[in-house]
Amino acid sequence: MQGKQHEDFMRIAIRLSEQNVSNSLGGPFGAVIVKEGKIVGKSANKVTRTLDPTAHAEVSAIRIASKKLKTFDLSGCLIYTSCEPCPMCLSAIYWARIDKIYFANTKDDACKIGFDDQFIYNEMALPRDQRKVIIEQMLRDEALNAFRLWDKSPMKISY
């Protein structure tokens, strides 16, 4: 793809973010997923509209693209997002195997308007016993059985 096409897709993501705010639908974030020059998924942030804290623009666009392409593997896809992805979205992009991320606003720009994810980066760096959300392991031996079953399962699919 050429530079103009990349800019066109980014402008769609930016428009989604602006329309989301202008229409009082949610936060100022938009994302577009493209494969072979065609849009396969696009979404604005849907957190407040759907009452789903995971419905960020990137995650929502990944869900749409995966459904459309009938796969959880989005290799060969590009994502254009109006803002640098948060930790959750970045993880989802990696899990989806998207090839490249293009972004407009930075995480510092987002922080200036109240979307500060630095606390998550800080928490991830801490040992589990020092994090704000209490994490306690239990019944590991019982839970390992599901892993053993999966490891031997004929339906096992790597992802």
Instruction: Quickly state the pLDDT bin for 136 (edges 50, 70, 90).
Output: confident
Kindly report the pTM of this predicted structure. Answer: 0.90
Query: Residues with catalytic annotation?
Result: 58
Please, which residues have CB within 8 angstroms of residue 150's CB and are 6 or more apart in sequence?
156
Q: Chain-centre distance of CA 117, in angstroms?
A: 14
28 pLDDT above the threshold of 90: yes
**By three-state DSSP, how is residue 147 classified?**
helix
53 pLDDT above the threshold of 90: yes
Instruction: Quickly state the pLDDT bin for 155 (edges 50, 70, 90).
Output: confident
> Could you write out the DSSP letters of every residue in 81-143?
EEEPPPHHHHHHHHHHT-SEEEEEE-HHHHHHTT---HHHHHHHHS-GGGSSS------HHHH
Query: For 101-118, what is each residue's pLDDT tens digit?
Result: 999 999 999 999 999 999
Whether the CB-CB separation of 20 and 28 falls below 8 Å is answered with yes
- Alpha-carbon span 149 to 58, nearest angstrom: 32
